[in-house]
Amino acid sequence: MVKRYNSKKIEQLIYNIYKGYGFTEEESQEVAHMLIYTDLIGIESHGVQRMIMYDDFIRNGKIRVHNRPEVVKETDVSAVVDAHFGLGQLNGIYSMRLAIEKAKQHGIGIVTTRNSGHYGIAGYYANMAAEEGLIGLSSCNSRSAMLPTHATKALVGTNPIAFAMPANPNTFIFDAATTTVPQGKIEVYRKLGKDMPALWVAKDGETPVNSHNDTKDLDALRDLDSNVGLAPLGGVTEDTGSHKGFGLGVIVEVFTAILSMGNTSNEITPDDLSVGPCQSFVAIDPSIFGDKDAIIAKFSAYLQAIRDLPSVSGKPVIVAGDKEAAAYQDRSANGIEIDDKTLAEVTGIAKRLGIDYAQYVD
C-alpha cells in the first residue's frame, strides 16, 4: 500500500541515515535533498525507493563512503573528475557545481566524471544549473542494456540525456533514457501484471518480448550475455528510427566514458567493484548569447504556444517539466508517496544504524 508522508520529516530521516553511514553533515544534507526532490517531482522509482540499493552498495564496498571526487584535468571551461567510487549523488553535485562555476566565469563548463556510482535522476543535476539561471545538461552511462540496431546482444547503456532551462511558469526539464523505456519501467509493468508495448524489449534482435509472463526472457534482461535487450528509442528497426536512439546512446558514451577515459557500458559489470559508470555535466550561461530575460521570455512564449495547441480529446499537450512542477506542488503540500515495502526497507536501515525513526514516519 502507498501512503503519503511529510517530505520534511522523511528528508530529516534520510539525513540521519547518511550521517549514520559516515558522511558529513553537509554531504548528508545534499543527499537527502537530492533523494527527496526526486520523490517530490513524482519519480518515486528513483528517490527513497533506491535507498535499499545504495545501502547494499555501501555495505558491499561498491560505494566507498570515505572517497571523494578529485579533479584530474582542468581548463577554464572543462574538467575531468575521478570520483574514486564515492557516492554517485555527491559526485554529481560536486561535478555540476564545478560546471556551474565555470559557466558563470567563462560562459560554459563541461565536466566529465569517471569511476562514479549510480547518481539517481540525471534531471536533478541539469536542474541545478537551471536554478542558477543557466542551461544545464547531464548524462550518465550504465552497464549494457540497449540493443544496437540489428544486434542480438546489448552493448550500450540506457544512457539518459537530461536538459534543463529556466522558463515561466515552469522550468523546462527534459530527462529521458535513450532506450524507449528504462529498465525500471519494465519492472513496474511486471509487478502490475501488465503486458508491454512491442517496442520496449526485444529478443534475438527483432522479436518483441511484451508479455509480463515472459519470465525467462525478462529475467534475461539482467544477464549481460543474453539475447534479450532494451530497444533503443525508435524501436529495433530502421523504419521506426532505431538507429537514432542507438546513435544518441553512443553520443552519451562519448560525453561520459570516452572523454573521461572511464568505463564504457560494455566494461561495466555489476559484480566488479573496480569499475563504475561515468557521467557528464554541462552548464551554459544564456547571457553569453544575449539578454537573459529576453531569451527566457522568448522560450516561455514558445512553450506556451505548444501547450495551447489543439490536442487529442482528454490528452493535453504537456511540456517537459510541467508534470514534475505539478507533482512538486502537490507533494510539498500533501506529502510524498511511499509504499509499505519501501518504508519498511528505510526504517530497517535506520534501525540498524541506531536511529530513532518513529518521529519521522508518523
Footprint (CB under 8 A) of a second copy, residues 225-284: 233-235, 239-241, 243-245, 247-248, 250-251, 253-254, 257-261, 264, 266, 284
Which residues share a beta bridge with 173? 164
Using the rule CB under 8 A, which residue among 48, 108, 122, 220 binds a second copy?
108
What residue has cell string 557500458? 265
**Following CA atoms 322, 328, 333, 334 in sequence, which dihedral angle do they give, to the nearest 10 degrees?**
100
Tell me how far, at minimum, the Cβ of 356 lies from a second copy, in Å. 43
- What residues from 274 to 333 belong to the interface with a second copy (CB under 8 A)? 284, 286, 288-290, 294-295, 298-299, 302-303, 305-306, 309-312, 315-320
Quick one: which segment of 42-50, 63-71, 85-93, 101-109 binds a second copy (CB under 8 A)?
A: 101-109
Tell me how far, at minimum, the Cβ of 302 lies from a second copy, in Å. 5
- Three-class SS of residue 176? strand
**Phi, psi angle pair for 79, to nearest 5°:** -155, 150
CB nearer to a second copy: give 234 or 335: 234
What span, in angstroms and rounded, lies between the C-alpha atoms of 116 and 167? 31
- Which amino acid is present at 230? L
Tell me how far, at minimum, the Cβ of 348 lies from a second copy, in Å. 35
Tell me how far, at minimum, the Cβ of 29 lies from a second copy, in Å. 31
Contact between 99 and a second copy by CB under 8 A: the answer reads no
Number of residues near a second copy (by CB under 8 A): 78
Contact between 2 and a second copy by CB under 8 A: the answer reads no
What span, in angstroms and rounded, lies between the C-alpha atoms of 290 and 350? 50
For residue 28, what is its C-alpha cell? 548528508
Tell me how far, at minimum, the Cβ of 102 lies from a second copy, in Å. 10
What span, in angstroms and rounded, lies between the C-alpha atoms of 229 and 224? 9
How many Å is the Cα radius of gyration of the chain?
A: 20
CB nearer to a second copy: give 61 or 197: 197
For residue 232, what is its C-alpha cell? 533503443
Peptide bond into 169 cis (omega under 30): yes
Contact between 199 and a second copy by CB under 8 A: the answer reads yes
Contact between 152 and a second copy by CB under 8 A: the answer reads yes
CB nearer to a second copy: give 165 or 218: 165
CB nearer to a second copy: give 7 or 115: 115
Using the rule CB under 8 A, which residue among 65, 77, 325, 361 binds a second copy?
77
Tell me how far, at minimum, the Cβ of 154 lies from a second copy, in Å. 9
What residue has cell string 555535466? 281
For 3, 51, 334, the CA distances from 342, given in Å and listed in that order, are 11, 8, 19
Contact between 181 and a second copy by CB under 8 A: the answer reads yes
Per the CB < 8 A criterion, the answer to whether 277 and 263 are in contact is: yes
Write the Ramachandran bin of 9: left for phi over 0, alpha for psi from -120 to 50, otherwise beta. Answer: alpha
Contact between 361 and a second copy by CB under 8 A: the answer reads no
